Chain A
Amino acid sequence: AQSVTQLGSHVSVSEGALVLLRCNYSSSVPPYLFWYVQYPNQGLQLLLKYTSAATLVKGINGFEAEFKKSETSFHLTKPSAHMSDAAEYFCAVTGNTGFQKLVFGTGTRLLVSP
Chain B
Amino acid sequence: EAGVVQSPRYKIIEKKQPVAFWCNPISGHNTLYWYLQNLGQGPELLIRYENEEAVDDSQLPKDRFSAERLKGVDSTLKIQPAELGDSAVYLCASSLLAGGPPNEQFFGPGTRLTVL
Contacts and interface: CB of A to CB of B under 8 A. Distances in A.
Contacts, number: 55
Contact of A43 (B44, B56, B99, B108): B108
Given A96-B101, A102-B102, A44 B91 contact: yes
Interface string B72-114: 0000000000000000000101000011111011111110100
B109 A92 contact: no
Main secondary structure of the interface of B (DSSP, over half): loop
Interface of A: 9, 32, 36, 41-46, 49, 51, 90, 92, 94, 96, 98-99, 101-102, 104-107
Contacts of A99: 98-99, 102
Contact of A106 (B41, B93, B99): B41
Interface string B54-84: 0010000000000000000000000000000
9 contacts: A36-B107, A41-B110, A43-B91, A43-B107, A44-B93, A46-B104, A96-B101, A101-B56, A106-B41
Contacts of A51: 101-102
Contact of A98 (B91, B100, B107): B100
Chain A binding surface, main DSSP class? loop
B45 interface: yes
B42 interface: yes
